[in-house]
């Protein structure tokens, strides 16, 4: 590996040593701020308190001025490590065994951030002449997500910031080889609950009570028959999944007062949040009108598959790694759902096989390859 590629591994190891189970604490942001400040970036570290009472930190950094305008985005927080004894190594002590680096967050997504830091360092040392480079780094992607990237994007929009020519999000996307897949969009997501209220009573006297469970079951059965088969090129079909049913009742001799079902719809651009709420209500009303539908969250789909920046990333990957990435919109949601309001988003990161898993890991060489791909992306975007 070249020097900056080895540097990417070193920086990844440094980041993994911070035990940043969501939400990430300030220490890793201080480390990143110092690193970027040494490169000449102007840093703005902000914090907010979320609904759980946790402090959410975000770092927005900017270098240079003028066009093109580029942004890299990532998150420092990681999912819990789970049962420590199931790990072969300490989750927060980066350990390399047979060319594989182990540690919580190596793939999702400190390896990406380390790779970009190294690529950025190399690019500014050898190639930069003009243009604007920004970073959005958050500590709240794996948690509630309400005060992380979403909050930074809202502040930038409120301030009248100019759109970016390209936004690179370091989520893990690769499967067999680095950059074999990139994400150029995501399906939307809407989460809802369906409540039916009855009348509590003793099971021996059902005539004196109203059991909400049978009605809820009928409604749920009808819910799952909603036709979501409208197709959109480059997207999976939409789907509805019931995720929970609860009557909040621990007693076997009591008819419950209320029953609730929770469900989620992942949807392509043939649908939007208002259309789906209307569709669900119309189907439920065919069974009964006495129910309560509550929308917990809703995010619209986005697609950046035909933009110049997508082409730039693909050409950079071809030059750097001799591979042309395939475009994909598969998978769950990401912070791209917020970032696309600022410009076209491409997600490109490490192999996604061990994300959120025990013994999360990446080949050391893959981190170096990703750094090379990031470096070439900067060179292609900013070339004169």
Q: Is a pLDDT exceeding 90 seen at residue 146?
A: no
**What domains, with CATH codes, occur in the chain?**
3-186+302-382 (3.40.630.10), 188-299 (3.30.70.360)
Catalytic machinery residues:
77, 141
Q: What is the pLDDT of residue 144?
A: 80
Give mean pLDDT, residues 87-102. Answer: 97
237-285: pLDDT as tens digits: 999 999 999 999 999 999 999 999 999 999 999 999 999 999 999 999 9
Average pLDDT, the chain: 96
What is the 3 state secondary structure string of the chain? CCHHHHHHHHHHHHHHCCCCECCCCHHHHHHHHHHHHHCCCEEEEEEEECCCCCEEEEEEEEEEECCCEEEEEEECCECCCCCHHHCCCCCCCCEEECCEEECCCHHHHHHHHHHHHHHHHHHHHHCCCCEEEEEEEECCCCCCCCCCHHHHHHHHHHCCCCCCCEEEECCCCECCCCCCEEECEECEEEEEEEEEECECEECCCHHHCECHHHHHHHHHHHHCCCCCCCCCCCCCCCEEEEEEEECCCCCCCEECCEEEEEEEEEECCCCCHHHHHHHHHHHHCCCCCCCEEEEEEEECCEECCCCHHHHHHHHHHHHHHCCCCEEECCCCCCCHHHHCCCCCEEECCCECCCCCCCCCEEEHHHHHHHHHHHHHHHHHHHCC
Q: Is a pLDDT exceeding 90 seen at residue 34?
A: yes
Give mean pLDDT, residues 206-228. Answer: 96
Q: What is the pLDDT of residue 227?
A: 96
Q: What is the pLDDT of residue 383?
A: 85
Query: Confidence band (pLDDT; 50, 70, 90) for 384?
Result: low
Q: Is the pTM of this model over 0.85?
A: yes
55-82: pLDDT as tens digits: 999 999 999 999 999 999 999 999 999 9
């Amino acid at each position: 590996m070249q020097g900056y590629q080895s540097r990417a591994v070193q920086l990844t190891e440094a980041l993994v040593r911070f035990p940043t189970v969501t939400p990430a604490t300030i220490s890793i942001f201080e480390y990143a701020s110092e690193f970027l400040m040494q490169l000449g970036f102007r840093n703005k570290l902000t914090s907010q308190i979320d609904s759980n009472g946790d402090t959410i930190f975000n770092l927005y950094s900017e270098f240079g001025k003028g066009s093109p305008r580029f942004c890299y985005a990532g998150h420092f927080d990681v999912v819990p490590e789970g049962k420590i004894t199931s790990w072969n190594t300490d989750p927060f002590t980066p350990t390399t065994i047979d060319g594989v680096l182990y540690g919580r967050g190596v793939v999702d997504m400190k390896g990406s951030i380390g790779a970009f830091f190294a690529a950025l360092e190399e690019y500014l040392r050898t190639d930069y002449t003009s243009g604007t480079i920004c970073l959005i780094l958050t500590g709240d992607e794996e948690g509630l997500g309400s005060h992380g990237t979403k909050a930074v994007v809202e502040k930038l929009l409120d301030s009248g910031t100019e759109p970016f020519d390209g936004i690179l999000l370091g989520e893990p996307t690769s499967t067999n080889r680095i950059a074999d897949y990139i994400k150029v969009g995501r399906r939307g997501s809407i989460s809802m609950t369906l409540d039916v209220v009855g009348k509590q009573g003793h099971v021996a006297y059902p005539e004196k009570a109203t059991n909400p469970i049978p009605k809820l079951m009928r409604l749920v059965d009808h819910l799952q028959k909603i036709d979501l088969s409208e197709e959109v090129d480059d997207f999976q079909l939409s789907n509805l999944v019931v995720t929970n049913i609860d009557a909040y009742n621990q007693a076997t001799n009591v008819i419950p007062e209320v029953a609730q079902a929770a469900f989620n719809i992942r949807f392509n651009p043939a649908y939007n949040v208002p259309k789906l709420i209307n569709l669900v209500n119309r189907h439920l009303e065919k069974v009964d009108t006495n129910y309560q539908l509550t929308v917990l969250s809703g995010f619209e789909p986005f697609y950046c598959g035909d933009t110049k920046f997508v082409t730039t990333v693909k050409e950079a990957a071809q030059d750097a790694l001799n591979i042309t990435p395939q475009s994909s919109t598969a998978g769950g949601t990401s912070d791209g759902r917020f970032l696309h309001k600022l410009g076209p988003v491409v997600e490109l990161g490490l192999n996604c096989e061990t994300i959120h898993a025990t013994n999360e890991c990446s080949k050391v060489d893959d981190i170096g390859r990703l750094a090379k791909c990031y470096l070439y992306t900067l060179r292609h975007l900013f070339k004169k």
